[in-house]
Structure 1
Amino acid sequence: MSTNGGILDRFGVEGYAAIVTGAGRGLGAGTAVALAQAGADVLISSRTEADLAKVAEQVRATGRRCVVVPADLSDLDAVAGLAQRAVDEFGRLDTVVNNVGGTFPKEFLRTNAAFLEESFSFNVTTAHVLTRAAVPLMLASPDLPGGPAQRSVVTISSMMGRTADRGFVAYGTAKAALAHWTRLAAQDLSPHIRVNGIYVGSIMTSALEFVAGDPAMMGQLEGKTPLGRVGEPADIAAGVLYLSSRAGQYLTGKLLEIDGGIQQPTLDLGFPDVSA
């Protein structure tokens, strides 16, 4: 694992141990498999055990180990416990991917305080709780045979955290907060642990199934995306691998915009004007 190898060697994470939350499907599943293909053992967690089992099969097919932890990740004790579980199983912890999150769009006047707080907790507090539990264990992890691993935290934000559209006051606020949490945590944890994130654009996961079945909506989304297509989970997984490996060793406190080049919202959900 010498840092003097070829450029492709820098993208390897051989022998690393990683946690990926929200890994039952979509971005989390794609990221877990990508990390395993690049050499990491992976702990995956989400609510649905059947989904995790399918992802674990793909991870193990690469020859890497996979630990499945079904959990309600709105339970902060369960989230924090993932860090120790990873060390118990793998003997180390190098990478944390804070992927769990999400909030349904909702009109402003229907977004009450509880909904806003739930969105913040699910998208931001979970990342903080897991990272806080993980940091001492990451710092205590032994060096790998070729030298220390790149200890790294990656957060999954959203383009709605840097743009504005109707219906996203809860989700967009939470994702903007997560992006700035990333910048602040990077300062606190430097130089030993790097913290970076990704502003995710429109990616074809189960969250966009309602769009895939509507040619008009799909056309609108693709037409407003400069690259003219919806992204794939592998597009995000490649970014996570870059940020987690030695390829990204000179980045911290940064957010990649993996979004097809969009600078404005791409889908009109039809929320009406506020009226008396």
Structure 2
Amino acid sequence: MSTLPLFSLAGQVAIVTGAGRGIGRACALMLAEAGADVALAARTQADIDAVAAQIRSMGRKAIAVAGDVNDEATLETLVARTVAELGKLTLLVNNAGGAGPNDPLKMPGAEFAGVLAWNVVPAYTLIQKSVPHMRAAGGGAVVNISSVAARYAQKYFSAYSAAKAALNQMTRNLAQDFGPGVRINAIEPGTIETEALAPYLTPERRQRMLASTPIGRLGQPEDIAAAVLFLCSPAASWITGKVLGVDGGVEAPNFS
């Protein structure tokens, strides 16, 4: 078998959430470079319009759907427009989510619940709405973007860590529900240099992080995008229900 077709996404149609910047943007561009048409979702229309323009310059199709992934009507519109305008739906990258540190003596329960909901419920809902279309297209693949925080024990990250751990376990269980036609996996990024991280990345903190990273550098959004491409591609056709760490080899918290 030729190697290159194993990583081709020719004829595929993907949805990527949080696609305007950082990891989501890198994922959308790499999937397009591999041959997929892409539906981009994020809150800021200008951001996803810019990514869509880059994708179209590659000769691929792209649509930009602005909205809040916490709003189910937005997700319904996203899926409906993808199928109507791009012809089908076969790939889904659930990248939207996140949270900062929390003080467990001060964070109200409602705020804690909000972190859990934002990192889990939109992914669940989009999978639920996407799977019938993937099955109609002959199969599909989902990649949920989690975090190494899901497996670390560290101070002041109880909300975010719990949310990503829940996303991991949901990934494993939904892979059982929707196989064999739809594969569902997750990726745990380590420290990735993005605009969101920049304000916290002091020279001293960067040096501490580098010292504890076996690969000797911080991650780039493209490192995660490459793993997403692999899990979406035919090369990963026998992989489902798995959580892949893409973290430079770090095995303990290094953000302090």
User: After TM superposition, is the score higher than 0.5?
Assistant: yes
Deviations 1:113-137 (A, max 9, x none): 1111111111100000011011111
Question: Structure 2 regions of 5+ residues with no counterpart?
Answer: none
Deviations 1:227-269 (A, max 9, x none): 121100110000001000101001000011100001100011x
1:23-62 counterparts in 2 under 5 A?
A: 23-62=19-58
Residues in 1 aligned to 2:64 and 2:228: alpha-carbon distance in whole angstroms: 20
1:74-223 counterparts in 2 under 5 A?
A: 74-141=70-137, 148=138, 151-212=140-201, 214-223=202-211
What SS does the corresponding residue of 1:188 show, helix, strand or coil?
helix
Residues in 2 aligned to 1:90 and 1:10: alpha-carbon distance in whole angstroms: 23
Whether the 8 Å contact between 1:80 and 1:129 is mirrored in structure 2 is no
Residues in 2 aligned to 1:156 and 1:267: alpha-carbon distance in whole angstroms: 19
Residue of structure 2 equivalent to 1:237: 225
1:247 aligns with 2:235: yes
Whether the 8 Å contact between 2:70 and 2:121 is mirrored in structure 1 is no
Q: What is the TM-score with the length of structure 2 in the denominator?
A: 0.97
Residues in 1 aligned to 2:144 and 2:157: alpha-carbon distance in whole angstroms: 19
Residues in 2 aligned to 1:266 and 1:79: alpha-carbon distance in whole angstroms: 35
Q: Which protein shows a greater Rg? A: 1
Read off the aligned partner of 1:241 and give its amino acid letter.
L
The CA deviation at 1:6 is 0.8
Deviations 1:10-53 (A, max 9, x none): 00000100000000100000000000000000000100111112
The CA deviation at 1:77 is 2.2
Whether the 8 Å contact between 1:198 and 1:256 is mirrored in structure 2 is yes
Read off the aligned partner of 2:174 and give its amino acid letter.
A
Question: Structure 1 regions of 5+ residues with no counterpart?
Answer: 142-147, 269-276
Aligned alpha-carbon RMSD (Å): 1.1
Among all aligned residue pairs of Structure 1 and Structure 2, give the percentage whose two residues are the same amino acid: 43
Residues in 1 aligned to 2:163 and 2:107: alpha-carbon distance in whole angstroms: 13
What SS does the corresponding residue of 1:206 show, helix, strand or coil?
coil
Q: Number of residues paired by the alignment?
A: 256
Q: Which runs of 4+ in 1 moved over 3 A?
A: none
What SS does the corresponding residue of 2:187 show, helix, strand or coil?
strand
The CA deviation at 1:59 is 1.1
The CA deviation at 1:91 is 1.3
Q: What is the TM-score with the length of structure 1 in the denominator?
A: 0.90
Residues in 1 aligned to 2:127 and 2:171: alpha-carbon distance in whole angstroms: 11
Whether the 8 Å contact between 1:72 and 1:78 is mirrored in structure 2 is yes
